[in-house]
Structure 1
């Protein structure tokens, strides 16, 4: 990438992309399973093509290099492609993948795209996928904005942003994911009536998010009473980060509908 191209890229909304060295099992999953579940790096995303045929449709080991052939058994067996009864769901910043995989297992007729820049989190998610046998998940390691920019108009039925990097210092607020430009792209890819679910345990980020969404006429805040933002929505699966309670307030749960 040239310096000019790098200067034109938006600010990163996340911190590190890798921490400790992956364990052998994790490394094996990244090598053998991730290529079958990965969202293409470039070009418009054809959702039907992305989910059909299913990964490894020709049987375990297809597409695995000789170096990773010993990990072929980690690839889940071929199953029918997920139906479209519950639509397309996007989770931005899925962390360790606990919530993403739990939702995919609970809603097998939906299609899930998970995006996470942290390699260790992607490896953790792959382990959850391998253990659960979920077939209706595709993954992207990187910036969610790159994926959203390539999704078709009106393709999303539901989106999750759970406990994103809060960038609590004022000078870093410009790095927060929730910005007017991001909401414009999100509105483009969401169907009318689609829902955006956001959670944070940082009071200032909750206020920031509420202000940005309520200023945008394309989104409607659904809360009618305080209990609506004090308790998680039905079917929520607790994330590893959520359980750590690292923020400065109790979790705030915000739901917005695409007008």
Structure 2
């Protein structure tokens, strides 16, 4: 990683005091699910040291129908019949309260999921969802997603979900936005050819900003063919609490970018 830390792309990291149950999960469960960033991340992500079987999700294909790669769908082998090395790997950056992340993991028990969130209260909420659902295919990092990305092997990710990141709406703060040319280049290194980046925002300027940054990079292609492609969520999307609040200045914009070979 660079010797100079990049500008922080997120706001606060903690709000109200955690409830006793949440604090307990942070103390006892998080250490078993936390990534070890002292070395390259092992994408096989073995099961954590705790009980529980794959939870009962809603099912359905959550891959957004990507091409030229192993789809993340319920039709793929599940359980011990599939090699861990062949399991799809999904990174969700800024998972908020964890509703989307855990629902995806429960519906796709054959895939591996990594969730990153700097907000401690969100991490605690996600841990509660993990415990209640019983999913065992999720790993977490409480901190900066760029640190996780730097520790992932080349071409290891099948999909990256970036849902409603901090928009930094004031022009003087745009340099703090997560989507920057350097970040997109690092995504290109870690995402497999044919893999996808899913980005959603309810700020019009951030949507335009993201399209411009990706358009200038030679690594990705915007997959939209008609207006409905960016006006409606991709298949399998799970609505989050933040999304329901409608805090932005426009209806949600849904962008999909495919990694070029």
TM-score range, shorter chain: 0.7 to 0.9
Where does structure 1 differ by over 6 angstroms across 4 or more consecutive aligned residues?
A: 78-82
What's the offset of the Cα at 1:23?
A: 0.1
**Of the candidates 18, 26, 42, which is equivalent to residue 38 of structure 2?**
42
Structure 1 contact 104–112 (Cα < 8 Å) conserved = yes
Match of residue 166 from structure 2: 165
Greater share of helix: 1
Q: Distance in 2 between matches of 1:46 and 1:130?
A: 23
Q: TM-score, normalised by structure 1?
A: 0.86
Paired residues in the alignment total 232
**TM-score, normalising length: structure 2:** 0.86
CA shift, 1:77, in A, is: 3.6
Shift of the alpha carbon at 1:214?
Answer: 1.2
Q: Give the C-alpha shift of residue 106 in structure 1.
A: 0.9
Aligned-partner SS, 2:213: helix
Structure 1 CA distance for aligned equivalents of residues 87 and 37 of structure 2: 25
Q: Contact 2:43–2:85 (CA<8 Å) still a contact in 1?
A: no
The residue number in structure 2 matching 1:64 is none
User: CA-to-partner distance for each residue in 1:15-69, whole Å, 9 max, x for gaps?
Assistant: 0100000000000100110000000132211222xx22x211xxx5xxxxxxxxx
Partner residue in 1 for 2:69: none
Q: Which runs of 5+ in 2 are unaligned?
A: 55-78
In 2, the alpha carbon distance for the partners of 1:19 and 1:166 equals 19
**Secondary structure of 1:124 counterpart:** helix
Cα distance between partner residues in 2 of 1:212 and 1:33: 38
Q: Higher RCO, 1 or 2 (CA under 8 Å, sep at least 6)?
A: 2
**In structure 2, C-alpha distance between the alignment counterparts of 1:146 and 1:24, rounded to whole Å:** 29
Any conservation in 2 of the 1:90–1:159 contact (CA below 8 Å)? yes
